């Protein structure tokens, strides 16, 4: 089931969302000081293109540095990327088959807003059983 959802996701939302993250990452590679944010963009692009079967957990040991990077991220790129997820969720929620993908999009909004201090892991989510 996850593979089918991932393929549908890739066609209707994943490709253009991952492209937006990758483009943002390329722009952030230009100044050397923003390389940590660029790497976060590329990590998120990999998650956004194939999200079902993976989930987000807090990274152990993330501290003040992650918080400061999240604040900087939020005011520069995070809000725009989160709005892209919300707009895509509304577009996907029009059809019944798009509802699971719309819900997945809405679950990605907190990650788009504050990606530092988070880790993407594969497998079953022990908190939700899927």
**127 falls within a domain:** no
Q: What would the two tokens of residue 125 be?
A: 């989510």
**129 falls within a domain:** no
Whether 90 contacts 10, CB under 8 Å: no
Tens digit of each residue's pLDDT, the chain (130 residues): 788 888 988 988 889 899 999 998 999 899 988 888 899 899 999 999 988 888 888 888 878 888 898 998 898 888 998 999 999 999 989 988 888 889 989 989 999 999 998 888 887 665 555 4
Q: CB pairs under 8 A, 24+ apart, for 79-83?
A: 79/113, 81/20, 81/21, 81/24, 81/112, 82/109, 82/112, 82/113
Q: Domain residues for 62?
A: 2-122
pLDDT of res. 125: 60
pLDDT of res. 127: 59
**64 falls within a domain:** yes
How many domains are contained in the chain? 1
Q: What's the rounded Cα separation, in Å, for the pair 106 and 39?
A: 22
**28 falls within a domain:** yes
pLDDT of res. 2: 82
pLDDT of res. 130: 45
**128 falls within a domain:** no
**130 falls within a domain:** no
């Amino acid at each position: 089931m996850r593979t089918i959802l991932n393929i549908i996701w890739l066609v209707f939302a994943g490709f253009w969302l991952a492209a937006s993250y990758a483009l943002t990452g390329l722009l952030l590679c230009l100044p050397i000081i923003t390389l940590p944010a660029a790497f976060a963009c590329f990590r998120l692009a990999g998650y956004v293109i194939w999200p079902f079967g993976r989930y987000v957990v807090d990274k152990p040991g993330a501290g003040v540095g992650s918080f400061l990077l999240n604040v900087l991220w939020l005011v520069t790129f995070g809000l725009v990327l989160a709005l892209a997820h919300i707009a895509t969720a509304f577009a996907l929620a029009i059809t019944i088959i798009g509802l699971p993908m719309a819900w997945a999009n809405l679950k990605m909004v907190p990650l788009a807003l504050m990606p530092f201090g988070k880790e993407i892991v594969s497998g079953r989510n022990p908190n939700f059983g899927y």
